């Protein structure tokens, strides 16, 4: 029997994990590996800075090492914290949501726009995209100027997300939108309908890649 795919929220906010769990429903198919959404309870409450990202790594790696039954791991934070350490710590496939989401967006459009939660996250995201050699495909990344907790609470989140995404499409000429925070997963389908262009939830992209790696 194939072990579960672990979708790990590296922050300690359970509301984010609940949103991720809801976004995974379409991937829960009879005969496919089960999908478990987990919270790193020892992690920061939100990953909004490099310090938060660094603080999440050790407890994330401890959780991965403890789950020897898993068939794949998804790091469900757009900063992909600890992805190198995670791949070093286990022999099973490890997928980061930023890397997976951006690669998916490259297959769906030519001019990629990214929605970040805050201005402070953007430089961190750009550095990682530069490292993996795809920064030139991004036309713009714009912030919601909200905290992780605020986006997860749902209060005014969609209205702000729609406004920022419209700016990316209309002003920056993006033809595909990437949701740059795990807490935004639950809004993908609704936003795509309104924008009439592809909207990528990177966590769903990572799970799809994991299924391909496991079942191929």
On the question of pLDDT at 14 being above 90, the answer is yes
Q: How many domains does the chain have?
A: 2
Q: Are 108 and 120 contained in the same domain? A: yes
Q: How far apart are CA 94 and CA 108, in angstroms?
A: 23
* pLDDT at res. 149: 78
Distance CA 71, CA 10 (A): 18
At residue 151, the pLDDT reads 83
72 & 131 share domain: no
Burial of 30 (0-12, 13-18, 19+ CB in 10 A): exposed
Q: What is the pLDDT of residues 142-189, one digit of tens each?
A: 999 998 878 877 778 999 999 999 999 999 999 999 999 998 988 999
pTM: 0.95
Whichever domain contains 15, its CATH number is: 3.40.50.12500
**Nearest Cα to 45, choosing from 121, 118, 122, 149?**
149
Check pLDDT > 90 for residue 99.
yes
Residue 106 and residue 189 in one domain: yes
Same domain, 59 and 126: no
pLDDT of residue 83: 97
């Amino acid at each position: 029997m194939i072990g579960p795919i672990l979708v790990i929220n590296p922050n300690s906010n359970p509301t984010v994990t609940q949103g991720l769990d809801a976004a995974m429903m379409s991937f829960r198919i009879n005969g496919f590996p089960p999908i478990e959404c987990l919270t790193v309870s020892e992690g920061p409450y939100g990953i909004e800075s490099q310090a938060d990202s660094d603080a999440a790594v050790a407890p994330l790696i401890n959780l991965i090492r403890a789950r020897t039954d898993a068939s794949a791991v998804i790091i469900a934070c757009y900063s992909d914290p600890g992805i190198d350490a995670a791949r070093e710590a286990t022999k099973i496939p490890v997928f980061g949501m930023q890397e997976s989401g951006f690669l998916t967006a490259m297959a769906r459009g030519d001019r990629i726009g990214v929605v970040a939660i805050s201005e402070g996250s953007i430089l961190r995201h750009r550095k990682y995209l530069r490292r993996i050699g795809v920064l030139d495909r991004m036309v713009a990344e714009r912030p919601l100027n909200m905290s992780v907790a605020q986006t997860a609470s749902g209060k005014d989140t969609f209205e702000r997300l729609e406004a920022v995404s419209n700016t990316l499409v209309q002003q920056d000429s993006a033809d595909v939108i990437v949701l740059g925070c795990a807490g935004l997963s639950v809004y993908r389908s609704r936003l795509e309908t309104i924008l009439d262009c592809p909207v990528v939830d990177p966590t769903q992209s990572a799970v799809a890649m994991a299924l391909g790696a496991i079942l191929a």
